[in-house]
Amino acid sequence: TALSGTVTIVAGSTTATIDVSGIVNDVIVEAEETVIVTLTSISGDPQITFDTDSSATTITIADDDAGTVSIAANDATAGEAGSNSGQFTVTQTRASSVDTVITYSVSGTATAGTDYAALTGTGTIVAGSETATIDVSGIVNDLIVEADETVIVTLDSISSSDPQVTLNSDSS
């Protein structure tokens, strides 16, 4: 709700209250927000002035939402033959007001660049979204008889996001 822009200190009083109401309790993970009220002029009694050093004050609206990021293989059975690539989904439990950039490491028995196209090592869940995918593509059908190979993606850190977004402790 917008503030009215005026406040009246009634005769005989020394204070008046400006209510900051209508704060929306959404489920978006976001940084703290502020409301700054600045007194700019006084009308009425010409003997009353305001202290220009304290003519502004700030109210901080703390966000009570938090998000956790995790990863899961949603196509864990990729194959050399055909077009069945592997895929991981990185999920954030709540949408954020800014992009969440996650760094990850890749391990397993398959070799990047030989068995599949190398992965970038970062993924981004865009602001307002809750998921991002990491595709294991370029799988090479090398015609070599070999055991199944694995690609393991482990979430290492969040390099950019709202501070209330954290990694799930079991994120591989």
Q: Is pLDDT above 90 for 75?
A: no
C-alpha–C-alpha distance, residues 151 and 85, integer Å? 11
Q: Is pLDDT above 60 for 80?
A: yes
The per-residue pLDDT for range 86-127, each reduced to its tens digit, is 899 999 999 998 999 999 999 999 999 988 899 999 999 999
Supply the pTM of this predicted model. Answer: 0.73
Phi, psi (5° rounding) for residue 30?
-150, 160
Phi, psi (5° rounding) for residue 53?
-75, -20
C-alpha–C-alpha distance, residues 64 and 9, integer Å? 34
The per-residue pLDDT for range 127-150, each reduced to its tens digit, is 999 999 999 988 888 888 888 889
Q: Is pLDDT above 80 for 160?
A: yes
